[in-house]
Chain A
Amino acid sequence: MTDEQGVSRRRAIALAGAGVAGVTGAVAVGGAFLAKRDDTPGPDARGAIPFDGVHQAGITTAAQDRLHFVAFDVITKDRERLVQMLADWTAAARRMTSGQDAGPIGAMNGIAEAPPDDTGEATGLPPSQLTLTVGFGPSLFTRFGLAKRRPEALADLPAFTGDALDPAISGGDLAVQACANDPQVAVHAIRNLARIGFGVVSVRWSQLGFGRTSSTSTSQATPRNLFGFKDGTKNIKAEEAGLLRDHVWVQDGDGPAWMTGGSYLVARKIRMLIETWDRSSLAEQEMIVGRHKSNGAPLGMAREFDEIDLTAVDDQGEPLVAETAHVRLAHHSTNNGARMLRRGYNFVDGSDGLGRLNAGLFFIAYQRDPRKSFIPVQRSLARMDEMNEYLRHVASAIFACPPGPAGAGEHWGSRLFDA
């Protein structure tokens, strides 16, 4: 194997970090995290997350701090080249998530005349819990003889009231979600995958995100989004096996077998109209969200994780949580029990031409069936949510994320393209 050479990238740090972190890291330090207000990454934040497994990493993995998400168009007509690239991507992903260089030679060890097979900017950085998660878009299934393998759950999302989508930053045949605790590690991963893919895929759009807006583990404190509110209090957590089974992982019999153990990823780029939001009163903000800004408790409740009471009324007989409040409209009890695992990030793409922050939420959600989760919830939000006055949905995409590769013998495309 070439591993001996390739381990060079961040050898010392990676190996040291991985030892304590690994799979058990998040659970082991869970208690400590709960006590901390800001859940500053601990030492395990530098370690490595296993790449192979029943499910892909990067879904229930405790949400890392940084995101680089990229969608590709497939530009080759050659199925074999596409499959080979997915195998090459997987090999590079396995290496990079473990803290090695993208290629077996490395960023600095090759001969002088050749461009290095790793771009080098992550040299010396720890694995930083990098996860790389792949997904296939509906448009991919119109080619390569895949039509019969398209799950019914994988279809372009319907138009929602108020959508202001830009097709140039929506959709895509393939997607890779890179999450890490160091933005340079996430960017390095996407850059190297894009390079490997030249001639087979072309980057359609990409998005950087910072400051996760959801926690996906009970070990993590609930972070705040750019509206200043805790976001994702009621999110499904990695520790909730029953909810994951019912709402996140595709089950046997749900559709084509290649997706069993996978999950559907919905991405929405939601621009927040920051300046007008900031001018609204605290009471109005809390009314719109349906939670207290201070600690995230539902209106009328004292603590963040207190169960929301959608029937509670004030002394005037008005509901404590307004009919048009975001939490009410998004709540599973309002949506036939619809749940999903949210994994979004804040984004700031500089400023727009009018001097306003070009900022918002890059919403990511994983679910067993978007027709029973994201679509009904977003329909209800799009129609009534008071928050819409401060939001613009500017991009949309959906991808089928297959189950995790079972080990070195499998790659990202194995389940879809083989057999």
Chain B
Amino acid sequence: MTEKICPVCNRPNISTAKRCWYCQSLLEDEQAEPGMTAEDLAGKEAEVTGSNEVPEWLARVRQRKAIEEMQQTRSLSPESLPPAEESGGQSGNQPDNQEKASREPEKAEASQLPEWLQGLGTPPPSEGVTKSLQMESTPEPENFSWLEKLKSWKARDEEDADTGSEQSEPPAPQPPAAQPTVEGSNEEWLAEFLTPAEESREETPSSDLETRVETPAMPAEIAEEKSLQPGSEKGPEDETYDFSGEEHPPLEEGHPVVTQFLDAEFSGSGSLPQPELPSVPTEEPSDILKEVAPTDNADLDWLTHYQEPEAEEPEEKALPSASQAGTTQPSAPFLGVQPSDWGESIPEPDIEPDFEAPEEEVEPAVLPAWMQGLRPIETKPQPSSVPSEETVREGPLAGIEGALVGANLGAAFEKPAMYTNKVQVTDRQSLRAELLQNLLSEPGEAKNAEEPRRPVRGKWLKRVMSLVMLVIVFAVLILAPGTSLLPVLFPPETANAYRLVNELSSDRPVLIAADFEAGLSGEMGFAAQSMLEHLMLRNIPLAVLSTNSVGSTLMDQMLANSQGLVSSYDASTRVVNFGYLAGASIGMQSLTSDLRTALPYDRNLVQAWTHPVVQNVYSLVDLGALVVVTDDADTGRYWIEQVQPALNGVPLILVTSAQAAPMLQPYYASGQVSAVVSGISGGSAYEQMMKLPGNSSYFFGAYQVLVLAVAALFLVGGLISLVKPAERGSKG
């Protein structure tokens, strides 16, 4: 069995095949004349081109062209000529007839093409193709104003071409790439554009586009500019969709669909996507159109390289080239088009599955390498020839070309006003603030500021007076110890104390509250020592407590000193020390409510009320007397206020310091206090009433001398202050 070699794809087919199983092309016996082989066709093509050095792919393309020409020639036979009515009533017009005749083979060829291929070029196309075309064109009819202009421009161009063809015999076919590519869903105008495209395919080696596609090195400028043509309205996403190769059955090289697609793309009037177009930076449509128009010449320069044989024909010289048409057409369809939003309104992949319809019968295959090379995904963005005007020069996008120009927000906002943290005040306010600061400042600071150093005279005066006092004390104690002038009259409050102690019963204990500090223990000893001796002499049991921490301890010392003078008194059996009573006035108040609860234990944490001295005492009333030994007037007042009302006739005797006596004297006058013994004078008086020598009388002489000395110092100081008044600003 002999095989038929496909003249297009050179692949073997069975002998009975009329079309190539691979590319669906007509085999030799169907295309060429009987007895003419592919080699003959190639040789004929070589004669036409006058060059045998063309590459193999070009030869193959031209071979196919020759086959098509032969088919055209065969279709131009009188039998195949259409009636005159079908030619528009121009039977007498030879160029028109030729033109009509040139279209007839296409129709014949189209009739031989598969249905899906016919649908691509003739209206009404199949639904899938229509949708694909819609995808590639502007979907909204109202945005087709530029397309209308394009059609009018196309029609005028055709008229010019016709006029030129009439002037130059014989009429030549239109140059293929001179027509701006327009795609769209409008079937009528699509048919108008597809027809001349197919016409141009007769003269233009459509396979040149294949070779161009196969040629990997397409000039970047051309690819970019072609992407800016109206036919490439769809964005990179659409291109990616069309050539993704995953959603559609793969198309092999030489497939009619591919061929038609490539022809259309090459001729510039194709409606299929253009694969090699790199992604174009987003720009304003008007800018893009303005840049496309003057660069059409460059777009076609590389194509004319393959059209040299046809360019030598005289009838083609008469026709304006595509580039010339582009440059000489001031009314280019895109120049007057207002920028529209067609680019934004292109529907996105929702039309993706519609493109599968024409390829249902195509055997799925691997996408060829050359087709993969066309995939926009893998295309590398070429350096843009757009002038650097669109390059962002500042901001975070500095150096990036084609960036969208955003709203100039910087100009809409002003720099915020700067506020300093420095308070702006007037002079008057600052003066007042300074005055307030001086008022609030520490007095010591102001004093130090005004008096940087203490006067030397005052310092030495204080030292001299202190030494004088010490010398007097030591002189009296050394020179005349015990020498004193004792008072003859006794204070009545002290005499009452002596009387009360004498009247106390020996079976009722006397509660002694020792509330004095250690610093005044000497004076308190002078005042209380004689009374304590008196109590011991009367063998009166004693109970001691204190509302400060050291009072009971100091009282123990006093009792020990008194016991040394009264040896008959057994302090171990006659004295109970309750120790510290916490709470001050609250503790005193607790004594009045429940004495045994307030004082549960003695100082040694022993049950105090089991002691024989106080075992019969249940309240303050059971006491013989309450003796408060204090150096503080307030403490004495607390005892008077809190405890005295609860005594119910039990004598309250105050043994106080000389400094507290004046403040407690009214309570004696009011009768709240039964007796008062205050200071060294009161102790000395008590000793005199007892007729026992004691420390108070012994030191009373020294005390008197010191009082006289102080009085003398006061007198001298007063006289000096009278003679020499104090300096201004100083106190006394």
A binds B: no
